[in-house]
Structure formats: structure tokens, C-alpha cells
Amino acid sequence: MNILIIDDHRIFSAGLTFLLDDISPNSHITKEVSCEDAIKNHTAKHTPDLILLDYNLPGAHGEQSLALIKGAFPSAIVVILSSEESHDIIHSMIKNGAAGYIPKSSDPTLFEHALKLVLIGGTYLPPQAFDTMGRRIQVADTKALTERQTQVLRHAISGKTNKVIAIELGIAEGTVKSHLSSAYEVMGVKNRTEAVLIAAKFGMAKQI
């Protein structure tokens, strides 16, 4: 597995590398300090499968840096690392395609759990993500979804954009949007963020 760390705090990146060596000892790990460097120094041989992206980066941060990286590496799993723990920021990153959000204050055991979850197609959110929205979300009935709705929803929950989903499934992007809208209605949620939160909170990723 090819792992890319994008973080301008070199000491943190070095510590993270040691942790990743224990979790996935056969991985090729690359470290960059900005999105621009990550994109510029990218080689086809080491196209990242997993990207650990710092929320606060020089020149671009938050949604802007996530958009840059998702655009450059559309097939990669992107996980946000941050000292910011606001549930609004966490929801925003998931809504914009991140497969997980790990506070930098997390202990190594939690970090390992979070990575294992996203690597099997799940979404990891810390407890802070459920401070408001999580309290009102109820378990949804996914059995009522059609096969195609289920298929599209599974891709969406894994953090892929509608465009990428359309390409991978060989359907129009408008069709993807239609299937997602229908799935949200069946599940009783308003958008992708709430669908992801349900999957993360109730372990639905494996069921869908």
C-alpha cells in the first residue's frame, strides 16, 4: 500500500511514520509539507492509496486542500488529521469527501482503529462529530433500498465524489445524484453527511 502524509509539522510526520510502520509494515510511505508539493512530486509508481492530510496547511487548508487532493488523487482514501475538533468542521470535511477525521490528540490505539475502518470502506468520525447531529439521527432501514441505490450509497459513504462514482459504475453523474436522492429519502436523511454519520455511528458500512 502507498501512503502519503501531507503535514508541515515534520516531527509529527516522523512520529506518524513510525506508527504506520507498525500498522502496515510493507507500505511505501511518502511525506510532503503541502498539497502543491504532494501533487508536483507525485510519481505513477507510488500513486497513493491512502492520504493522511493535515487540516491546517500553509497556502491551503480545510475544504480547499481537500478539494485539491481529491482532484489530484480521485481514487485515494483521504483522512483528515487535525487539532481542530469542532463538529461543524468535522461534518464539513466528511461532506466534501474525506473518509475519516482523526483529531491529533487521539491515542495510537484509536488511530489504528480509525485507519483499519476506513481501509475496509468505512468512515471514521470521532465522538465530537456527534455532539449535535448524532443525537437526533435514528437507525435507518437500509433493507428498503434498491440494489443500485445500495451500490451507489456504498461508494458515496467511502468518500468518493459523484463524478468518480459515475465513472466507476459506468453511469451518468446525474443518475448517481438521482440514486443518492432516492436513497436519502428511503433512509430518512437529508444529505450525504447525515448518511455517512448514520453509517459511522451504527456500523452500517458493512451492511450497506
End-to-end CA gap in the chain:
25
Alpha carbon distances (Å) from 135 to 74, 149, 154, 198: 32, 26, 23, 11
For residue range 124-133, list pLDDT tens digits in order.
878 667 654 4
Q: In what order do the strands lie in the sheet with 100-103?
A: 28-32, 2-6, 50-54, 77-82, 100-103
What pLDDT score was predicted for residue 49?
Answer: 93
What pLDDT score was predicted for residue 171?
Answer: 94
For residue range 67-111, list pLDDT tens digits in order.
999 999 998 999 999 988 887 888 889 888 898 899 988 888 888
Comparison of pLDDT for 194 and 97, the residue scoring more: 97
What pLDDT score was predicted for residue 15?
Answer: 87
Euclidean distance between CA atoms 111 and 105, whole angstroms: 10
What pLDDT score was predicted for residue 58?
Answer: 80
Interval 156-170 mean pLDDT: 84
Provide the sign of the torsion angle of the four alpha carbons 63, 164, 113, 195, taken in this order: positive
Q: Which three cell numbers stand for residue 192?
A: 450525504
What pLDDT score was predicted for residue 5?
Answer: 95
Contacts of 121 (CB under 8 A, 6+ apart): 154, 157, 158, 205, 206
Place of cell 475519516: 100
Cross-strand bridge partners of residue 80: 53, 101
Is 170 within 8 Å of 181 (Cβ atoms)? no
Q: Is the pLDDT of residue 153 over 50?
A: yes
| pLDDT bracket for residue 136 (50, 70, 90) | very low
What pLDDT score was predicted for residue 166?
Answer: 92
What pLDDT score was predicted for residue 135?
Answer: 43
Q: What global pTM score does this model have?
A: 0.66
